[in-house]
Structure 1
């Protein structure tokens, strides 16, 4: 039996950052996943380190709202009809989570994470020789309807409270920032403190290399084999049985199945998004991510070309890939700026775990000593990964945490 201080299950950005921060505090850490680090959900996103998004997620509540999300919700997260029965408990919990005072609670919980997120990423990137992936160009959001812009006031309100800068953009301002956009008479917002990366998977892999260079171990194994032992937790990998005094589940959408085997149920749902790359058109450039709010997609420059991210839907992980919404997003993107031929024939899916209150889950599982969770931030799991990894390590080792960990504790969903 090989012994470690901590076994981290999950080779995405959350798991790799948790492993690095635990390692930096003197822990002997084993990182386990079914694939190589950075090969799954952590590469299938827009790679944005956001400095906005302080409001609760707008999940549907009434029957009419739910039906509209099942149909063709332009710019909104779609609900898969066959997944709806399983999603109803999550939607009920989400409705309860956004009652009076929820917006202020969400803002106060997200703000300290976002405040250090970029700095924590850049510190790891510098050590991992991965600074080349990072861009300090900001983020543009486009609003094609006045009502959509007005709906963003809550985020702007909290941005003002927390001192996060933003700039209102006219159509002319948009074209000055991105000269190859097709001019149109709509509003926009520019978030200058937001950063982005040219390869989320590349960043995650660079961090994993740093972890190994510092003496950490990575192995392939099945998280479903995690069991409690007399002295902690064990898991089976391709190298045999491994044991740790503590274990961290940072599996994203794979976490509910593992937790269910341990008798733990969370009121969660899974959200699938898609991305596809397009070749650049000669002489046409895009300098920063642009999100088209009303059409529900983000277009951002990546190493493989322009990445179109969209088609988000609340669905079971076993449901088939649906390309329809991403095709509609692609048509809207072509109307926004010239883009070339698509690189992939089939869009690349990525699945995230959603919590009812839109906040991450970080902390020890009640009644299961030594089992910790680090998961569930569907908004910006890539962007907040390094900050959450630091908070987890500080909390686990008894150091003074940079933020109060209570808002993220699993106790809010799991009782003893």
Structure 2
């Protein structure tokens, strides 16, 4: 008989996992309280970051920490009243960002990133989503020689150690690529390997449609209802109780709450982010996904318009929106590119689930049979959804994972 399985969470990680489980002979139901792709997967810079071998670390330089303390930047913002509850996470995050430990973490992270493009390509072709993809990389632009030279050196290191390809640009090359960008930019760096997504939400929907074409089902339900029912797991859905032998928690930033009810303690932090879409004024064109490196905001030519994204906001998961970073970014971005009117009724906000060692949590729950975890992907949820889905489905169905996932084991936090 076909075994039933449940995937809780219909973001890019959950949908990708459901596809790979369904492909391997399980009868999978994908459950979320909202339609697929409407939480964190809805808003991001739209990059499949093959170059992202080095996860985003906590700043180590004392001078930079002092500048962050003034809380007036685009790339980072914090809620003062939220800090006491996040100090333990931030301390461990800072400790793991030490140069030596960060290098070790990057090497453990590399196998996931290495397969990000190939595993997305599999699902893109299967779901006929090629129209949502561009394959020409993305670009950083630099205001200072110091930042430019440091990024050039780091790019050379990543090329030598991990095979990540790039192109160094002088100011004239940046102007040729982006004739409508103005400002005193000294040069740029074009990452050649990543792919970009014109509509991240649309890509998740295309993957969901492919999942359904394989015989999978999507229903609404509440992850908080998860519990044991004899030898099975049970979730209450809009169609009544649903039982399954295996259940995957792919709940993003809400995973800490759901797993706590089951007796686990994951030190999951949250980095919130914002975006807004704009029209281009005066018939201007933005050709590339572009990061203003020193200021810390992204401009991306999406299907809906030019998407402006911010850095990280450290706040409680359920705290009201405070899009001050977006306002700061918009003010700077308008001096760089002719942005027109806002196209969204209000800023979008999402929350990235982060672990203090910057590695995702992928694998079997230490103390429960049939319970599996897939969360904690931080800034790379879109990038790592398909590779996570494949490797976890291989383990669930008794196969050998095509990459070593021991570094991502839930047991490192819950022995």
- TM range, normalised to the smaller chain? over 0.9
Deviation of 1:77 after TM superposition, in Å, equals 2.3
1:11-410 pair list within 5 angstroms:
11-60=10-59, 68-99=67-98, 101-152=100-151, 153-154=153-154, 156-410=156-410
Distance in 2 between residues matched to 1:101 and 1:320, nearest whole Å: 37
Superposed CA deviations along residues 245-286 of structure 1, whole A, max 9, x for unmatched, are 111110101111111111111111111100000012343212
1:268–1:356 CA contact under 8 A, matched in 2? yes
User: What is the CA deviation profile of residues 95-143 of structure 1, one whole-angstrom value per residue up to 9, with x for unaligned ones?
Assistant: 3323463233222233222222122212212221211000012110123
Are the aligned partners of 2:292 and 2:298 in contact in 1 as well (CA < 8 Å)? yes
Structure 2 distance, partners of 1:278, 1:288, is 15
Scaled by the length of structure 2, the TM-score of the pair is 0.94
Per-residue deviation, residues 214-258 of structure 1 (Å, max 9, x unmatched)? 100111001011112331311100111111111111010111111
Does the CA-based 8 Å contact 1:321-1:349 persist in structure 2? yes
- 1:312 CA displacement: 2.3
Return 5+ residue gaps in structure 1 as ranges: none
Are the aligned partners of 1:128 and 1:210 in contact in 2 as well (CA < 8 Å)? yes
Contact between 1:69 and 1:79, CA under 8 Å: does it hold in 2?
no
8 Å Cα contact 1:311/1:323 also seen in 2: no
Summarize deviations over 1:340-364 as a string: whole Å, max 9, x none.
Answer: 1111232000111011121111011
SS at match of 1:179: coil
- Give CA deviations for 1:278-315 in whole Å, capped at 9, x if unaligned: 01234321222101122111110111100001152011
SS of 1:180's partner is coil
- The separation in 1 between residues aligned to 2:179 and 2:60, in whole angstroms, is 40
Q: CA RMSD in A?
A: 2.0
SS of the residue 1:137 aligns to: coil
Q: In the aligned structure 2, how far is the partner of 1:20 from the partner of 1:339?
A: 39
Cα offset, 1:84, TM superposition? 0.4
Please state how far the C-alpha of 1:148 moved relative to its aligned partner: 3.1
The whole-number CA distance in structure 2 between the counterparts of 1:322 and 1:293 is 23
Of residues 175-184 and 348-357 in structure 1, the stretch that sits farther from structure 2 once superposed is: 175-184
Q: Structure 2 unaligned runs (5+)? A: none
What's the offset of the Cα at 1:70?
A: 4.5
Q: 1:177 to 1:31 in 2, by over 3 A?
A: same
User: Does the CA contact (< 8 Å) of 1:352 and 1:378 recur in 2?
Assistant: yes
Q: Is the 8 A contact 2:301 2:307 kept in 1?
A: yes
How far apart are 1:156 and its partner, in Å? 4.3
Q: Distance in 1 between matches of 2:156 and 2:112?
A: 17
The aligned counterpart of 2:6 is 7
Say if 1:75 and 1:294, in contact at 8 Å, map to a contact too: no
1:395–1:401 CA contact under 8 A, matched in 2: yes
TM-score (norm 1): 0.94
Query: Does structure 1 retain, via aligned residues, the 8 Å contact 2:50–2:116?
Result: no
Deviations 1:40-93 (A, max 9, x none): 211111110012232343325799866643433535322221110111111122
